[in-house]
Amino acid sequence: MASETNGTNGNGKNGGSSTDPVLVVVQLSGGNDFMNTVIPYGDPFYYDFRKTVGVKEENVLKIDNNFGLHPSLGPIKTMYDAGDVAIVSGIGYPVPDRSHFRSMDIWHTAEPSTVIAEGWLGRVIRELDPSQQNVCTGVSFGQGLPRAMYLMGTPAISVAQLEGYGLLTSIAGERQRKALNAFQRMYVPEEIDEASMVLNHIGQTGIDAMTGAEMLAVAPERYKSTIEYGDDALSQSLKGIAQVHTADIGTRVFYAQLPGFDTHGAQIATQAGLLSNLAISISDFFDDLREHSASDNVIMMVFTEFGRRVRDNGNGTDHGSAGGAFLIGDRVKGGFYAEYPSLDPANHLSGDLHFNNDFRSLYSTILDGYFGIAPEPIVNGKFEQFNGMFESAGV
């Protein structure tokens, strides 16, 4: 698939341009049940296998005569109807692993075969900012930096809460400068000028944190909006992302997380609440960007580490393999981009939906078709891409 170009040739603030493509990744931790998210209500096997947690047909938000969305996803359905949501069904990888930790690690590193430290988004950040002009090229909201964004020697910032973010914010003036100097010496003591690469990386991480704190401090000050986000963690993370994006400090990759999808029990109420949270917060986020005329260069990828078993367990669902993902945004050409896995037991993989599409195909499509960068070094190989998933810039 031919690459699309984005943005301008000139550099804007901090080495970026306000029209450069931006990716927001939302991680649904715990293994979201895709069969109850994009529901194959037209397939009789669905109700055979989902006798307890199945969504009644009259409650499904119907997309067509076979598929529909969970009733809690009303705001996403509205965006889908507007052509701004792409659904990628049956996504996974060879030899699926039902461990939360290993499966998430595979998604984060784009490497199913061996355990590595480098995150795929860390490689993206390095590609987007090879000279490291901007320590805020990648910003994660939440507790700790996800492995997807980690790459030794490549800066990325982790923010728990944007308001008040920074180092030693309770003191000011000369006292703060002295404290920050002491902080830097703590990270990079003079006596280890010939230190190992690891110690140098630790030192640079401290310096990047100080620089990032100063850059991000301007975002809340510049931000005004009529959108009233919820008080939940995801809504506040997406609000922070909107603040940083509209402040135009050059961030190209954002990350946020919503935990709680490991629904072995009490799935009906738990998943309904989580999907409602997801849908409302995403809708508020894009409404906010549109209010600021800042949505046309932003796409969002929503993923989870795996799906759930085809047959429910009487109160929930257990770990499975194939799941699904969403791409959302003004430049996304909405619709279905992959065949839904067969629910016929003859086609199951040990009781799971059998994956149809390698997740690295989705990564490759985003990298090539949206960012315009070669995907092979980032996803560790060449994978078939989804055709026509993005509108050209400015359309």
pTM: 0.87
**C-alpha span between 345 and 49 (Å, rounded):** 10
Tens of pLDDT, residues 280-296: 999 999 999 999 999 99
Q: How many Cα atoms are found within 13 Å in the side-chain-facing hemisphere of 290?
A: 9
- In angstroms, the Cα distances linking 242 to 181, 219, 236, 285, 294 are 31, 9, 10, 7, 9
136, pLDDT greater than 80: yes
Predicted pLDDT at 177: 54
Predicted pLDDT at 99: 87
Which structural domains are found in the chain, ordered by start? 13-162+226-379 (3.40.720.10), 166-216 (no CATH)
211, pLDDT greater than 90: no
C-alpha angle 287-363-280 in degrees, rounded to nearest 5 = 25
- 302-315 average pLDDT score: 96
**C-alpha span between 242 and 289 (Å, rounded):** 7
- 322-330 average pLDDT score: 97
- 267-291 average pLDDT score: 98
First to last CA, the chain: 19
